[in-house]
Structure 1
């Protein structure tokens, strides 16, 4: 795994990614693990935002209410309550580390995205096996799973994406600046159904 080092922190990289990746989406956009609803601010005004979150916060509910035509789905990403081929794009940001079954989530994503639809993702992933960062991830994993929405910092999300059956997949691995960047590389990219 070749890792590109960048001078931005995880937060700065996430904001850059939101601007670039989400700004290019159109049509019906499913945001899995919508969290606080930050994606809504970065989508083009004519995109229809569908926010999927199993336990929607008041902040997310306000974001959905404040964006005309948007919709909130209080459901799990392992069982997306949408018809087959019903969305044009999917946003997946820092969510595959915390779902119970990432392979099932990606199968659901492939099911609901129209042919040639896009998935854009930014995910933190396990550090290289045998590295000090990987050992630290192993030590903190019980706490992050319990107190950080089920996050397992050792997930091999790049491998999961590669085996998901997308017709095209582009990804790059980044090591961001700061303490968190040293402990958790991130991957970003896009896939096509």
Structure 2
């Protein structure tokens, strides 16, 4: 695949301190977070094809779900993640095509991929609707977008109150991450032919992060 498409997208402004902090945080906390999410990831990331596009690959938390010898086209604008991602891909025998781009503008041709995945990414992007439109653009007919994301809690719950109180420090620490997005609604409104979503709740110390969804949207 060649990087031929040029589209307008928000620039990613790398913050030297927070970028490095997030790379270190997810390298350290990744096994714990993945352990909590694993039952849901195993379902939506089951039987991935040999070439997968991932939005926000980070330090490689989802590499274990890819087939050995496969190819990951990683859309990851945070340069602080890149060294760990390359090392993790090499250890797992995954060919890495790393692209320092935002999810709103992957640079991939129309209708060129079978599967796009994301986890804990749509909370952070500047324009979720634009990202979902980009996913639909690059998927072949019948291709799938597979996702595991944290979402806004139900109104009137203690978790929703915590999300409101912590939204600004949370967003500052985690490079714009919002704990108040209705991402299920966004995916369902994005024009996919079929959307299947499971809602669930984790039990971690990261309270704003605990309401989650896992699902598959078909182009």
- Asked whether the two chains share a fold, i.e. TM above 0.5, the reply is yes
Q: Does residue 16 of structure 1 match 2:39?
A: yes
Count of residues in Structure 1 that have an aligned counterpart in Structure 2: 185
**Alpha-carbon contact 1:136-1:183 (below 8 Å) kept:** no
Correspondence for 1:91: 117
Q: Secondary structure at the match of 1:70?
A: strand
- Distance in 1, matches of 2:97 and 2:90, equals 8
- Residue 10 of structure 1 and its aligned partner are, at CA, apart by 5.3
- Distance in 1, matches of 2:99 and 2:53, equals 10
Q: Does residue 174 of structure 1 match 2:200?
A: yes
- Distance in 1, matches of 2:165 and 2:132, equals 27
Correspondence for 2:96: 70
Q: Does residue 185 of structure 1 match 2:211?
A: yes
Structure 2: tracts of 5 or more residues without a match:
1-31
The match for 2:144 among 112, 115, 118 is 118
Aligned alpha-carbon RMSD (Å): 2.0
Correspondence for 1:47: 70
- Distance in 1, matches of 2:215 and 2:168, equals 28
- Distance in 1, matches of 2:109 and 2:89, equals 21
**Alpha-carbon contact 1:10-1:180 (below 8 Å) kept:** no
Correspondence for 1:108: 134
- Residue 81 of structure 1 and its aligned partner are, at CA, apart by 1.1
Deviations 1:25-70 (A, max 9, x none): 1042101010111222221125321111011321012234554533
- Residue 153 of structure 1 and its aligned partner are, at CA, apart by 0.4
Correspondence for 2:86: 61
**Alpha-carbon contact 1:28-1:47 (below 8 Å) kept:** yes
Structure 1: tracts of 5 or more residues without a match:
1-8
TM-score (norm 2): 0.77
TM-score (norm 1): 0.87
Correspondence for 2:51: 28
- Distance in 1, matches of 2:111 and 2:133, equals 12
**Alpha-carbon contact 2:124-2:178 (below 8 Å) kept:** yes
**Alpha-carbon contact 1:172-1:187 (below 8 Å) kept:** yes
1:41–1:160 CA distance, 2 compared to 1 (3 A): same
Correspondence for 1:151: 177
1:183–1:192 CA distance, 2 compared to 1 (3 A): closer
